[in-house]
Amino acid sequence: MQTALTPIGWYAELEASFSPYQVQGYTVGRVVLEHKRNYRIHTVYGMLLAEVSGKLRYHAQERQDYPAVGDWVVISARPEEERATIHAILPRKSKFSRKAAGTSTEEQIVAANVDTIFLVNALNHDLNIRRIERYMVMAWESGANPVIVLSKADLCEDIEAALEAVETIAIGVPIHIISAKDNEGMESLTQYLTLGKTGALLGSSGVGKSTIINWLCGKDLQPVSDIREKDDKGRHTTTQRELFPLPIGGVLIDTPGMRELQLWEADENLNQSFRDIEDLSQRCQFNDCGHQKEPRCAVREAINEGRLDKKRYDSYMKLQKELAYFNRKADLRAQSEEKKRWKKLSGDRTRVHRR
């Protein structure tokens, strides 16, 4: 039965995880849309509206314990009602996460089980190299492969200069230049979206994500709007994350515009995205070089000689400090959650003894 779901991303490794549920009569589906803990799920019965079971809700400790768009979920289906109940989430092979909005240190999963993350940036005055760096760090952390898409090439006066600037920070990452208006470069994206593959579009508002969805689907599924003339910045058109099956065989997840992305967990992949700085650090005289006033500092020498952009180094240090701050807050939150968990368990045991 699951092979019928191959076009929307079902893969063989999920069989072992699903097997214990299958013998109990459950089936599977993929989350297409989530809205206030109500889910639209693609199943062998078609689209079903679902909600999580009481047991799953009871055991959920954090937002990441609930289904996200792109998740494969175990369900009991009621196709005659076009409804289902979600009982479990199958293991995620990748997840693109960010810190949830607000002051809490809670993870928000933007998209799950993604093979390729398209980091879409418009080639206009809003092109921001520092933002691309941040997106790349989080893309590597997700477990998916990042691909940079430079859209709206028809609005760029010097494409070569823009490409050269992006290439300096996109180490080992493919870059595609496209223009939906002139229908240029769009076909190059299809190589990542073959049968059963999942892509996700990430970027600020107005960079052309919805236009890409409509082009790949061959019809207007998402509303689009032009950028504001006064500042080249976009208007929000996509308001929620949604998964779209494509005629070419894969699926694509569209996401609302995210101008600011706060890191989640990305310690190792920060080094991967800034591999050039890490390589320079290995040549410093001291292993714990702070790249400030230490003698024979290879990083500072590269900056002084123009081999390393000072803005790129400042961006690297800013992200390092942001992660360190987040990790401190996360440790305090983990301690608080552990206390709450033990308090709850103690209360449950007390109630059992009283019975």
CA 172 – CA 274 distance, rounded (Å):
11
The CA distances from residue 322 to 19, 268, 344, in Å, are: 41, 14, 33
pLDDT tens digits for range 33-50:
998 889 999 999 999 999
Instruction: Give the percent of the chain with pLDDT over 70.
Output: 79
Task: Evaluate whether 2-89 and 95-254 have a shared fold.
Answer: no
CA 172 – CA 145 distance, rounded (Å):
10
Burial 252-269 (b: 16+ CB within 10 A, else e): bbbbbbeeebebbebeeb
Contacts with 32 (C-beta within 8 Å, 6 or more apart), sequence order? 39, 40, 41, 42, 47, 69, 242, 243
Q: What pLDDT, on the 0 to 100 scale, is given for residue 82?
A: 97
Contact 32, 69 (CB under 8 A): yes
Pairing of strands 27-35, 72-78: antiparallel
Contact 209, 21 (CB under 8 A): no
Q: What pLDDT, on the 0 to 100 scale, is given for residue 344?
A: 53
Q: Which of 216, 184, 183, 176 is nearest to 198 (CA)?
A: 216
Pull the structure tokens for residue 82. Answer: 């076009």
Q: Which of 110, 80, 119, 91 is nearest to 18 (CA)?
A: 91
Pairing of strands 27-35, 38-43: antiparallel
Q: What pLDDT, on the 0 to 100 scale, is given for residue 12?
A: 87
**Per residue of the chain (355 residues), what is the pLDDT tens digit?**
567 899 999 988 999 999 999 999 999 999 999 988 899 999 999 999 999 999 999 999 888 899 999 999 999 999 999 999 999 999 999 998 876 655 555 778 999 999 999 999 999 877 889 889 888 888 888 889 999 999 999 999 899 999 999 998 898 899 999 998 888 999 999 999 999 999 999 988 889 898 999 999 888 777 665 554 454 454 545 558 899 999 988 999 998 865 555 555 555 567 777 888 888 988 998 988 888 888 989 999 999 999 998 888 888 888 877 777 556 655 555 455 555 555 555 555 555 455 5
Architecture of domain 95-254: 3-Layer(aba) Sandwich (3.40)
Q: What pLDDT, on the 0 to 100 scale, is given for residue 221?
A: 74
Burial 135-147 (b: 16+ CB within 10 A, else e): bbbbbbbbbbbbb
Q: What pLDDT, on the 0 to 100 scale, is given for residue 6?
A: 92
| pTM (predicted TM-score) | 0.77
Give the residue extent of every domain in the chain.
2-89, 95-254, 267-339
pLDDT tens digits for range 77-113:
999 999 999 999 999 999 988 766 555 557 789 999 9
Topology given in CATH for the domain delimited by 2-89 = OB fold (Dihydrolipoamide Acetyltransferase, E2P) (2.40.50)
CATH 1.10.40.50 at 267-339, yes or no: yes
